[in-house]
Structure 1
Amino acid sequence: MKPFVFFDLGQTLVSEWDFIDHFDQKFLELLNGFGARIDMKNYRAVRDSIIRDRKIGHGSVRELTIEVCGAVLPSGYGEPIVRRMDHAVKEGRRTLFRFADGAEQTLKQLSEKCELGIIANQSEDIVALLQSSGLDGYFRVKTISGAVGLKKPDPEIFALALKEAGRGAKDCIMVGDRLDTDICPANRLGMKTVRVTDSLFALQEPREQCEQAKATVSKLTQVPAAVDKMTG
C-alpha cells in the first residue's frame, strides 16, 4: 500500500510571501494613522517577536493584528483595526496567494509513489485557488477547516482526514510549517512529520518533544527526498 502524505496549505504548499508584504504595508499605514509612529523595521521586529513567542496561539492574521496593536498602540484599537483590515486581507488572499515554486513538480514526483491529501486551516475560498491551479486533482482527501468546522491542532480534524483516507496514522506523513498546529498534533497521533521552514513560522523553536519533526527541509521541493528516506 502506498504511503499517504498530507500537506498543510498556507506557507507550505501555498506561498504567502506576497500576501505578507501586502498585509504588512496596509497594516503599517493603519497603525501610523492611529498614531503608532513606527517604521517597517520596528514593526517587523514586533511582529516576529509575537510569532516567536507564540502570542497568537493557534490563530493567524486576526490574532496577529490584535497582538501587534496591543504592543504599539493604547488599548482598544485592536478590533477597529481588524475591521479596517478586513477588505485588504480578503483581497490579498484572493489575488496574492499562489502555489509555492516547485509545487507541481513536488506533487507530481510524490504522486508516483504516494497518495496525497490536505489538512489545512483555511477558509473555503482556498478551494478556488486549488481548482484554478489545476493541482487539486493530485489530492484524494481535502480536509479544510472552513468546510469541516474543525481546526488544527484539534486531533479530530486529523482523525477525520485519516478516516477519509482509510489509513492509520502510522502509514501517513504530515508536511507543514508550524510546530504547534502541524508537527506536534501529527506526531502525537503517530504520523511521521516533515517541517518546511520557508515560512514566517520558521521563527518557532521546539518547546516539547512532540514538536520535533522527523525531517526538516528549507524548500518544498526537498519534501520528496525526505519522504523517500522515511518510506524507503
Structure 2
Amino acid sequence: MKNIKCIFFDIGYTLINEDDVWQQRCLEQSQTEEAKLLNLSPEQIYAEIVQASLDYKPQYRTVIKKFGFKNQAPYRQNLEKLYDNANVVLQTLSKIYELGIIANQTDGLIDRLRELGILKYFSFIISSWDYQIMKPNIKLFEIAVEKSGYKASEIVMVGDRLDNDIFPAKQIGMKTIWIKQGFGGIQNPKSDEYIPNIEISQLNDLLEVL
C-alpha cells in the first residue's frame, strides 16, 4: 500500500480478543429465566450470533430481538484480552504512521485503552458513544477523516467486519484491510463494495503489508 499516512483500527476482534467475553455472555444469557423457558443453551445462543454476523446484522441485538429477551446479559469488559502481538504491532506502526480508532463502543473507551496499555499509540479516538453515531454509518468515518487532517485516500481502515468496517470506509475513499478474526472473519463479501484492498489473518501480518 502506497501513500498511506494514517491507520484507523476497530477494537473488538481487531485489537482485542473477545472470545472469553462472548462465551461468558452466552452462558449468562442461557441462565436467564427467559432463555430457560425456551430451552436455549449457550451453544445455541452463540450460533445465533454467528448467523447474525453472516447475515450482516447486529450481533447481540439481533439475538435479543429474535427471542424477545427483556433481560440482556452484560458484556464483561474485564474478560477482554489484547491479542498477543497487539503491543508490538502498534508500537512499530506508530513510528511510521499516525494511528486512530473508529469503533462502536460504550462510554469509557479512553480509560479502557489506557488500562490495556495502548492508549499512548493513538492520536485520534472516534467512538460511537461520543458522537452518537454507530458504524456502518459513514458519518463516523467522515468525522475520523476530518479529525485526522489527512485525505481519505491517505488513510487505511483495519477491521474485522465487512459490513461495519470495510464497506463504509470504502464508500468515502479510504483504503481497507480486513483482519479475519472473530465473528466478522467468517463473513462473505456480498458485492464488490465489500471486498477489501487486502485480507490478513492476524495483526502481525500488518507489518508485512504496511
| Fold agreement, TM-score > 0.5 | yes
Amino acid at match of 2:71: I
- Could you tell me which residue of structure 1 aligns to residue 54 of structure 2? 52
Distance 1:43 1:183, change over 3 A: same
Distance 1:135 1:27, change over 3 A: same
Amino acid at match of 2:117: G
Between 39-48 and 159-168, the greater mean CA deviation after superposition: 39-48
- Could you tell me which residue of structure 2 aligns to residue 123 of structure 1? 106
* Cα distance in 2 for residues equivalent to 1:133 and 1:38: 34
Amino acid at match of 2:9: F
Given the alignment, which residue of 14, 24, 30 partners 1:12?
Answer: 14
Larger Rg computed on CA atoms: 1
Deviation of the 1:5 alpha carbon: 0.4
- Could you tell me which residue of structure 2 aligns to residue 74 of structure 1? none
* Cα distance in 2 for residues equivalent to 1:154 and 1:12: 19
SS of residue in 2 equivalent to 1:160: helix
SS of residue in 1 equivalent to 2:189: coil
* Aligned ranges 1:122-201 → 2 under 5 Å: 122-201=105-184
- Could you tell me which residue of structure 1 aligns to residue 85 of structure 2? 102
Q: Deviations over 1:11-50 (max 9, x none)?
A: 1112111101111111122267542224444443333223
Deviation of the 1:137 alpha carbon: 1.2
Deviation of the 1:206 alpha carbon: 0.4
- Could you tell me which residue of structure 1 aligns to residue 37 of structure 2? 35
* Cα distance in 2 for residues equivalent to 1:114 and 1:18: 31
User: Would you tell me which structure has more helix in proportion to its own residues?
Assistant: 1
* Aligned ranges 1:61-100 → 2 under 5 Å: 61-67=60-66, 69=67, 77-78=68-69, 80-82=70-72, 85=73, 88-89=74-75, 92-93=76-77, 95-100=78-83
Q: Deviations over 1:26-82 (max 9, x none)?
A: 11222675422244444433332232123x3xx343333223x2xxxxxxx32x133
State, as a whole percentage, how many aligned pairs show the same letter.
26
SS of residue in 1 equivalent to 2:38: coil
Gap runs ≥5 in structure 1:
70-76
TM-score (norm 1): 0.82
Give the conservation status (yes or no) of the 8 Å contact 1:4–1:172: yes
Q: Deviations over 1:95-116 (max 9, x none)?
A: 1123222111110111122110
Q: CA RMSD in A?
A: 1.9
Given the alignment, which residue of 75, 96, 109 partners 1:113?
Answer: 96
* Cα distance in 1 for residues equivalent to 2:87 and 2:146: 26
Give the conservation status (yes or no) of the 8 Å contact 1:152–1:181: yes
